[in-house]
Amino acid sequence: MGALEGFREQAAEILRQASIALGGRTVTLYEVSPEPSLTPVISSEPHPGHHATKVDLDATLNRWGIPIRLGSFWLGLRADPEGHWVFAPVRTRAPAPPPGGVERRGRERLTLELAGLCVGLVDRRESPAAPFTGGGPDPLHELVMLPGVIAHEARNPLSAARAGLELVVESVGKMSNIGADQRVELLGELADVGEAVDRALDFLRAVSDRVRGASQGRSRFDAVRAVRSCVELERRLLGNRGIGLELEATMEPTFLDGDPNLLYELLLNLIRNASDASASRRTPVRVDLARDGEALRLTVRDEGPGIPVHLHQRIFESGFTTKVEGSGTGLAVVRTVAEKEFGGAVRVESQPGSGAAFIITLPAPAQRGARATDAA
């Protein structure tokens, strides 16, 4: 058993014992993620209900004025059906004695304090490579999370500005002391400002998604949102080179099981290869996402010089490249991720002089609500 598995098993047993001491109520270990929000990591129940683990951070820790560090860990339980929560931090040292020696913490809080101390001590005894760092700060983790924090802080005032702009547009539309032509011109300029703000919000949202994917590991995630975020980030970079990046995806959210960060890497490699092929002609790169039966089909298409048929298989070999300064690893990574991480397949359709299309097919498990939607 590896260090991570060992930690999970011991932490789960600590939570189970705490749950028994608290009359069977669900006890959950949470991590503070970039939004920020409390993300469930381990629970005393194998399959806890949404109501037992979903936490409103603004109504709990933020409202109580408790300092919250990104990447920190907390134990929590819903003390009653009305939504009263109890939390205790994961730590490696017992808290200081109460002021004046008078204990004001309730039984639930004291139980969680003890459980949090046990989890922190178990974590400290694990390998330094273990990703859980409830016992102390992890500078690398905080560095990885930093773009998400900046994006979150920037989105708040932009969202407020967007709401204010909508009020201004509504007011201008009702003004009777300006001419019709002037009103139309002013509304057009305000619409341009609104579109610029929306683009900035989309970009910041994509940054947050990228950070979340990098820190999440293997999980169930929305592949449509991951693809949109990746395209939004790359569109800014390719625009500086005079290359357009277009996305065709009108799908509902579609969830895959795997590491969202690896899907990012797969798509980034394909987009950047396509942009290199399009550089001389300044033609756009097109990304298409669609359902293909019980699979998800992701296509990246360029209008570059194309690939000879006899090289269609070799381009996926590690170390093989048709570029002057290429490393020959990008498409090898694409095939490895598609096949080994998601159980899918990759193929290329291309002829010399007619561009290239790389098609990734990923099995998509049954989606919740799909049957009801089909019936409707």
- Residue 265: CATH number of its domain: 3.30.565.10
Residues 73, 151, single domain; the answer is no
CB distance 311 to 321 below 8 Å:
no
Residues 43, 174, single domain; the answer is no
What was the pLDDT predicted at 13?
A: 87
Where among 99, 119, 136 does a domain terminate?
136
How many structural domains comprise the chain?
3
Within-domain flag for 82: yes
Within-domain flag for 211: no
Within-domain flag for 213: no
CA-CA-CA-CA torsion sign (328, 334, 339, 341)? positive
Residues 352, 235, single domain; the answer is yes
Within-domain flag for 112: yes
Residue in 42, 35, 33 with CA at minimum distance from that of residue 76:
42
Residues 15, 131, single domain; the answer is yes
What was the pLDDT predicted at 25?
A: 87
Measured CA to CA in angstroms, residue 356 lies from 25, 94, 286, 295, 306 at distances of 56, 61, 11, 22, 5
CB distance 275 to 246 below 8 Å:
no
Within-domain flag for 210: no
What was the pLDDT predicted at 145?
A: 44
Burial of 296 (0-12, 13-18, 19+ CB in 10 A): buried
pLDDT in tens, the chain (376 residues): 455 666 778 888 889 888 888 888 899 998 887 667 788 888 888 777 777 788 887 778 877 777 777 778 899 998 777 778 899 999 887 777 776 667 778 888 888 988 888 888 886 544 333 344 444 444 434 434 445 445 555 555 666 666 777 777 777 777 777 877 787 788 787 777 777 776 666 666 655 555 554 444 566 788 898 898 888 878 877 877 788 899 988 778 888 888 887 888 889 889 988 998 888 888 999 999 998 888 999 999 999 999 888 888 888 887 667 665 555 567 888 888 898 888 999 999 998 888 999 999 999 877 765 443 343 3
Angle separating helix axes 107-125 and 3-21, nearest 10 degrees: 170
Which pairs from 196-204 meet CB under 8 Å and 24+ separation?
197/158, 197/161, 197/162, 197/165, 198/162, 200/158, 201/155, 201/158, 201/159, 201/162, 202/232, 203/232, 203/233, 203/236, 204/151, 204/152, 204/154, 204/155, 204/158
Residues 111, 86, single domain; the answer is yes
Residues 178, 224, single domain; the answer is no
Which runs of consecutive H residues, i.e. helices, occur in 175-222?
A: 180-216
Measured CA to CA in angstroms, residue 321 lies from 232, 313, 335, 347 at distances of 27, 12, 14, 16
Which runs of consecutive H residues, i.e. helices, occur in 246-354?
A: 260-278, 330-336
Residues 43, 168, single domain; the answer is no
Structural domain that includes position 89: 3-136
Backbone angles phi, psi at 24, to 5 degrees: 85, 5
What was the pLDDT predicted at 160?
A: 65
Residue in 71, 91, 89, 76 with CA at minimum distance from that of residue 19:
76
Angle separating helix axes 260-278 and 180-216, nearest 10 degrees: 120
Distance CA 230, CA 245 (A): 11
Residues 235, 364, single domain; the answer is yes
CB distance 371 to 303 below 8 Å:
no
Looking at the whole model, is its pTM more than 0.85? no
Within-domain flag for 61: yes
Q: What would the pLDDT profile of 113-127 be if each residue is shown by its tens digit? A: 888 888 888 865 443
Residues 310, 274, single domain; the answer is yes
Backbone angles phi, psi at 241, to 5 degrees: -100, 5
Residues 339, 306, single domain; the answer is yes
Residues 20, 90, single domain; the answer is yes
Residue in 111, 104, 118 with CA at minimum distance from that of residue 73:
118
Burial of 232 (0-12, 13-18, 19+ CB in 10 A): buried
Residues 349, 281, single domain; the answer is yes
Distance CA 331, CA 339 (A): 12
What was the pLDDT predicted at 359?
A: 95
